[in-house]
Amino acid sequence: MRIDIISGVPAQLDSPLNTSILKRAMDKGLVEIHVHDLRNYSTDKHRSIDDAPYGGGAGMVLMVAPIAAVVRKLVAEREYDEVIYLTPDGQVLDQKLVNGLSLYKNIILICGHYKGIDQRARDLFVTREISIGDYVLTGGEIAAIVLSDAIVRLLPGVLGDETSALSDSFQSNLLDAPMYTRPSNFEGHEVPSILLSGNHAHIEQWRDEQAYHKTQVRRPDMLGE
């Protein structure tokens, strides 16, 4: 899979893309992530990419021309499945949406400022708008990282244990059971003895019960209740 991220503040993407599992997936050739600095596509002599909104009001809006230039360059090079704009007024991201996006070959992610991008860029180029939740961030970069991370961890070969993504909370519509590791006794607080029993059928049954109970208490909406 290939992900192209268009950003006016590409430095915000550096550290997440250069650490941990995202980086390892890129090094293994399982995903290509290309960051495009919007400023390199500015069409005026001051290299500006944003301006005040017509009609007045606070904040700056990303201009349509630089976005048009970079999107047109990319779509001339290969076929894209989606051009996604990250915005708080988009479709709210959930695991089902991530699962669908993880099947694509090429996607473009456009990061906006907090005040957004010119509506004409949305009308002309964007095929899908996604929000990562009902709260407001300063820009779309962090949202693009959240979305990329959620997608990339589903790609075959990215996670060591092939089954671990499938057993996630939200894939099963249940939250995870409590997990424990060494030591079995921490300052008198014991690990549930069933987990030390070696009886895998009983352990699986205990985890199912715990997962169901936790979901019932914390997220009854996930059970349709």
Binding footprint of ligand 6GU on the chain (CB under 6 A): 86-88, 114, 131-133, 135-137, 139-140, 143
Query: Is 59 or 157 the residue whose CB approaches ligand 6GU more closely?
Result: 59
Shortest gap between Cβ of 144 and ligand 6GU (angstroms)?
8
Query: Is 129 or 168 the residue whose CB approaches ligand 6GU more closely?
Result: 129
Shortest gap between Cβ of 93 and ligand 6GU (angstroms)?
8
Q: How many Å apart are CA 205 and CA 98, to the nearest integer? A: 29
- Location of structure tokens 């249940």: 174
Shortest gap between Cβ of 135 and ligand 6GU (angstroms)?
5
Shortest gap between Cβ of 48 and ligand 6GU (angstroms)?
20
Query: Is 137 or 203 the residue whose CB approaches ligand 6GU more closely?
Result: 137
Torsion of CA 19, 22, 26, 28, to 10 degrees: 90
Q: How many Å apart are CA 1 and CA 24, to the nearest integer? A: 14
Shortest gap between Cβ of 214 and ligand 6GU (angstroms)?
26
Shortest gap between Cβ of 94 and ligand 6GU (angstroms)?
13
Which helix (H) or strand (E) segment holds residue 91: the answer is strand 82-92
User: Going by DSSP bridges, is the β-strand pair 61-62/50-51 parallel, antiparallel, or unpaired?
Assistant: antiparallel
- Location of structure tokens 């059971």: 177
Q: How many Å apart are CA 136 and CA 128, to the nearest integer? A: 19
Query: Is 87 or 215 the residue whose CB approaches ligand 6GU more closely?
Result: 87
DSSP state of 55: T
Instruction: Say what angle helices 141-152 and 20-27 make with each other, to 10 degrees.
Output: 60
Query: Is 59 or 183 the residue whose CB approaches ligand 6GU more closely?
Result: 59
Which of 30-56 are b and which e, b meaning 16 or more Cβ less than 10 Å from the residue's Cβ?
Answer: ebebebbbbeebbeeeeeebbeeeeee
Query: Is 114 or 186 the residue whose CB approaches ligand 6GU more closely?
Result: 114
Residue 98, both tokens:
């991530």
